[in-house]
Structure 1
């Protein structure tokens, strides 16, 4: 298909910090789709695995030195972004997460069409004075976002309740449904704490029921709540095992809480084998916008148990709510839901099948990419047209 010459194509500048977890995957997926559709894409981020993966896609990557949280270096971060924007002259800026949204909007200040995507509100993460300041900033900074993209209706409602008056659009998260798909169940690791992968050794006898939790080891993801619930799970299902997939700042503290049946994998390059090895996937988050891990698990045909935070209900088929959602910060309710599903193989199979169909119809990343492309076309107006092939080319 014919594309405009490179000079006539609009340039989109993505700003990303953090550069791991769900934010990084969203930026990678959008960049892949936009490059394939003929856009010129530049991503400014603080290096790391995200930068390396983006370069493999052929994106223009600029090293933006920025910390994960606001601090004394903010003025320099904003200044470096302003210089980069003056150099690139992008048609549109898309800032991902609270930190990039803070620095990006301060650097642009309405000079360029700007999209801000919070990926969960910053003020939901902290309390006290810090939370109040974060909320106050989001109220003020909304004037410098032409659109605020929320990944769930619940996330949008949280922003509105907090007094963040913005031009909102809700575009649910999506996943690569070809990558995250059912497949053969890998053999389980030979013993907790071995560090081996899911295919490390043969099964002997009936496999022990396996629960998997995929996510950064941090307060947001609530693994400490799951570990407090795990004693009750093991009491009800004595052979149950739990694997925490991922790494993060809370790893040492979580290890101190862990039952002997709990394994830590550390960071992994590919989470798909762990989803396929699981009987049940659990994400006990304290806050989210719409987490990717449950969608990935459902894509692999695995049932999930989630805390009822923003985006959780919208991630699931309606019939899942009674069985698969529990209140946040409630170890007893979490243990009851996990133990109940571990004890009912046929129900798990049915939920996994329903979840896979739901993700295919509602959370395919190609749909997400096309809705973002449509938003760009709306904001750019009579500027060079944003191509509409994102939906077809996300997997290319």
Structure 2
């Protein structure tokens, strides 16, 4: 059955944008009509168009605030005009405005990409959890990318029809590449141990923790180098933090890059000390290219690693000593990094192929549509 699918997303960059673009590409290949409503700017719009989607301009800020009523009204009009068979809402802001706009009148899949209350603290975290408990009545299904993300939702009292579909990557696009050639193309030393962090420069991804740990790492592995790949709201603060490091510990900030694959290929180790996630996409891309990863043990991280790599590849969140020790140990042993990387590629190829993800999401859509209208109400715990 051919469907008209409307994806609604804010943000328009980073892993969420790549997930949406991959879904669009796969769903267009299946013969569906696919529309994407998102704010202008960022990478999602051009990528969605290139993948065959119809693009709907939906101006929306990333954070909630006074703009929400106008954003909701605009989205309601777009839904009415598009007439989709199903609406797929990506991340907290689209989940907020989208559920208010649709209110269960059409089959609705909400994908948190990490819960809003995980990113908040204090009273704001409780307000966010209360909203999620209430708004779940307007989602036919909640799509989580890890079992831990689903467990965190259930623990917060979000009663929903959950489906878990781990993130996936295009294995042909993120294929193993020769490290020497990648380093030559980037002007990097061919022999030094290199750690690379790919991600939006923001508090969530923990690059500030990485920079704080780096001098101790470099004292133990004196030739080691670090590259932060990406752009974001914390770019200036992180650049200042990097400049303040003593001269021998210089760190390279690349800024936003169109294609992170050369940096992943050049790395001995890819590190992401996130404070929270659903299941980060960059580590899967790194492993698909045959590179080992070092991750904070936040939702999704443990599930995306091969079992034998969970001890060297996971550290407690916001633990500078553990981050230092694990980074230094990995960078001091490039042969072990290469061994771990080969095992990581095999694991991702078996469990995180984007084609499998697209198939499972299609099954979820069919199930959601079969529930009929209106969306069954779930008792809210507030």
- TM-score, length basis structure 2: 0.93
**Paired residues of 1:187 and 1:201 also in contact (CA < 8 A):** no
Q: Matched residues in 1 for 2:114 and 2:208: separation?
A: 20
Q: Matched residues in 2 for 1:368 and 1:66: separation?
A: 28
Pick aligned residue for 2:61 from 62, 67, 81: 67
Pick aligned residue for 1:227 from 186, 203, 211: 211
Q: Matched residues in 2 for 1:342 and 1:356: separation?
A: 19
Q: Matched residues in 2 for 1:19 and 1:345: separation?
A: 36
Does 2:329 match 1:330? no
Does 2:113 match 1:119? yes
Alignment correspondent of 1:251: 235
Distance 1:369 1:188, change over 3 A: closer
Distance 1:188 1:115, change over 3 A: closer
Does 2:18 match 1:25? yes
Does 2:353 match 1:364? yes
**Paired residues of 1:151 and 1:290 also in contact (CA < 8 A):** yes
Displacement, 1:57?
2.2
Q: Matched residues in 2 for 1:21 and 1:345: separation?
A: 29
Q: CA RMSD in A?
A: 1.5
Q: Matched residues in 2 for 1:83 and 1:382: separation?
A: 24
Q: Matched residues in 2 for 1:20 and 1:202: separation?
A: 27
Q: Matched residues in 1 for 2:365 and 2:112: separation?
A: 17
Pick aligned residue for 1:211 from 166, 190, 195: 195
Q: Matched residues in 1 for 2:140 and 2:182: separation?
A: 49
- Give the length in aligned residue pairs: 366
Q: What does 1:246-395 correspond to in 2, within 5 Å?
A: 246-258=230-242, 259=245, 260-381=249-370
Pick aligned residue for 1:239 from 223, 229, 232: 223
Distance 1:375 1:343, change over 3 A: same
Which has the higher mean CA deviation after the structures are superposed, 19-28 or 9-18?
A: 9-18
1:242 aligned counterpart, secondary structure: strand
**Paired residues of 2:111 and 2:144 also in contact (CA < 8 A):** yes
Runs of 5+ in structure 2 lacking a partner?
373-382
Displacement, 1:347?
1.4
Alignment correspondent of 1:43: 36
Displacement, 1:157?
0.5
Alignment correspondent of 2:379: none
2:134 aligned counterpart, secondary structure: helix
Q: Matched residues in 1 for 2:240 and 2:172: separation?
A: 37
Q: Matched residues in 2 for 1:370 and 1:293: separation?
A: 21
Q: Matched residues in 2 for 1:188 and 1:381: separation?
A: 48
Q: Matched residues in 1 for 2:338 and 2:180: separation?
A: 17
**Paired residues of 1:13 and 1:94 also in contact (CA < 8 A):** yes
Moved over 3 A (4+): 186-189, 200-203
Q: Deviations over 1:232-288 (max 9, x none)?
A: 100100010000000111112112222342000000000110000001100000000
Pick aligned residue for 1:168 from 159, 162, 169: 162
Q: Matched residues in 2 for 1:35 and 1:310: separation?
A: 30
